[in-house]
């Protein structure tokens, strides 16, 4: 190899090295910031608090807010609940209460569906394609039906407000979630198959399906932790 070839080879090696470094840093930037938390505020049942949403079944302090919690009738909880309001019950607010906590899209995605959910609240279902978590679906449940900001087919951006936490009503009153408290929340469900946007997420005709959800239902804990870190700068 002559001097010119050696020099050219060294220059090319240096250039390729810089390009690889830049690509690596860019990928880290993309994967490290493409997911945000679905709330702009920390939940009122945050880590270390009562009804801690980060716990696992069997942990000390486990509660109804966690994924896989055993519900009455043998059903299992299909989400993680992020409490947005928790105020003392009065004769007035147990019949009508307006939460003011915004719900945001955790990433860039497309709205699949908005519809009725539990206890006179709504749900927003969004499909996402990400580098770190692949293609998946999030169902944002217990949303205020009068303040849903998106519709099926809408493209949404990371951090975009898609609705507000809703107030649940059962037989004219707020259901007893926490004793003597009005509690509003975001009910956050995660489905790993983002390709299947046609199949119903709720399944009620299989007695062996304790979650009453599609089989690709999974614990959203890691996605929520990633979003929490990127939104609040703290690792759970």
For 157-185, how does the pLDDT look when each residue is reduced to its tens digit (9 = 90+)? 999 999 999 998 888 888 888 888 889 99
Question: Cα-flanking dihedrals φ and ψ of residue 124, to 5°?
Answer: -125, 125
CA 198: distance to chain centroid? 20
180: left (phi over 0), alpha (psi -120 to 50) or beta: left
pLDDT for residue 112: 98
- Provide the whole-model pTM: 0.85
Residues of the chain with pLDDT under 50: 4, 9, 16, 18-19, 21-31
Residues in the chain: 236
Six token digits for residue 35: 């997911």
- DSSP of 82-109: EEEEEEE--TTTTT------EEE-SSSE
Write down the pLDDT at residue 23. 44
Q: Are 50 and 64 in contact (CB under 8 A)?
A: no
Question: Nearest to residue 94, comparing CAs of 185, 186, 181?
Answer: 181
pLDDT computed for residue 30 by the predictor: 43
Q: What's 223's DSSP letter?
A: H
At 208, is the secondary structure helix, strand, or coil?
coil
In degrees and rounded to multiples of 5, residue 128 shows phi and psi of: -125, 150
């Amino acid at each position: 190899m002559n001097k010119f070839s050696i020099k050219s080879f060294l220059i090319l090696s240096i250039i390729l090295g810089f390009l690889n470094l830049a690509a690596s840093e860019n990928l880290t930037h993309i994967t490290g910031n493409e997911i945000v938390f679905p709330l702009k505020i920390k939940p009122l049942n945050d880590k270390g608090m009562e009804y801690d949403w980060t716990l696992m079944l069997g942990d000390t302090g486990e509660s109804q807010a966690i994924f896989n919690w055993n519900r009455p009738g043998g059903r299992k909880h299909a989400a993680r609940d992020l409490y947005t309001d928790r105020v003392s019950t009065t004769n007035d607010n147990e019949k009508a209460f307006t939460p003011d906590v915004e719900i945001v899209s955790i990433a860039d995605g497309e709205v699949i569906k908005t519809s009725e959910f539990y206890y006179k609240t709504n749900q927003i279902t969004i499909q996402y394609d990400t580098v770190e978590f692949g293609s998946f679906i999030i169902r944002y449940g217990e949303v205020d039906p009068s303040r849903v900001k998106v519709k099926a087919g809408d493209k949404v951006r990371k951090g975009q407000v898609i609705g507000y936490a809703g107030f649940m009503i059962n037989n004219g009153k707020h259901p007893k979630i926490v004793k003597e408290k009005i509690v509003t929340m975001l009910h956050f469900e995660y489905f790993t198959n983002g390709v299947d946007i046609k199949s119903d997420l709720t399944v009620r005709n299989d007695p062996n399906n304790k979650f009453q959800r599609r089989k690709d239902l999974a614990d959203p804990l890691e996605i929520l932790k990633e979003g929490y870190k990127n939104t609040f700068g703290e690792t759970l």
